[in-house]
């Protein structure tokens, strides 16, 4: 079995966004813009993946712990940058869930 140099995240933060198909490219650009700052400046951040479906857009964040995921949701990067940038494209309140990985 192959091994990875990186440990699997212990927690996942899933944010599901209702975004019209014509605005998904703009939302993806915002994801790309903030991916590196998220990974380099948020304590416990390990991964960030964009998932685009026919019905919505999801961003799956990997964290070391649930506490790190919760802390990110109140960080300036999320509340003042990412959320503000996405707000014009989001059609409804986001569905935000934190999962413990096993």
In a domain, 22, yes or no: yes
Asked, for residue 1, whether it belongs to a domain, the answer is: no
pLDDT at 31: 96
Model pTM score: 0.88
Question: Residue 5 domain-assigned?
Answer: no
Kindly state whether residue 72 falls inside one of the protein's structural domains: yes
pLDDT in the model for residue 98: 97
6 domain-assigned:
no
- Residue 4 belongs to some domain of the structure: no
Domain membership of residue 66 (yes or no) is yes
Q: What is the pLDDT of residues 72-96, one digit of tens each?
A: 999 999 999 999 999 999 999 999 9
Please name which of 81, 96, 70, 93 lies closest in space to residue 10, comparing C-alpha atoms.
70
CATH number of the domain that residue 89 is part of = 3.30.70.100
Q: Is residue 39 situated within a structural domain? A: yes
Domain of 69 in residue numbering reads as: 11-100
Structural domains counted in the chain: 1
Q: What stretch of H or E contains 72?
A: helix 66-73
Q: What is the pLDDT of residue 7?
A: 65
| Alpha carbon distance 2, 58 (integer Å) | 28
In this prediction, the residues of the chain whose per-residue pLDDT falls under 70 are 1-7
Q: Give the per-residue pLDDT at 6.
A: 57
């Amino acid at each position: 079995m192959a091994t990875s140099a990186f440990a699997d995240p212990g927690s996942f933060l899933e944010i599901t966004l209702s975004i019209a198909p014509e605005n998904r490219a703009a939302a993806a650009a915002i994801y790309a813009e903030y991916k590196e700052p998220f990974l380099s400046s948020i304590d416990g951040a390990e991964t960030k993946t964009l998932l685009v479906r026919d019905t919505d857009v999801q961003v799956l964040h990997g964290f070391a712990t649930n506490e790190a995921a919760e802390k990110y949701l109140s960080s300036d990067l999320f509340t003042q940058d990412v959320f503000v940038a996405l707000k014009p494209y989001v059609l409804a309140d986001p569905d935000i869930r934190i999962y413990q990985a096993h």
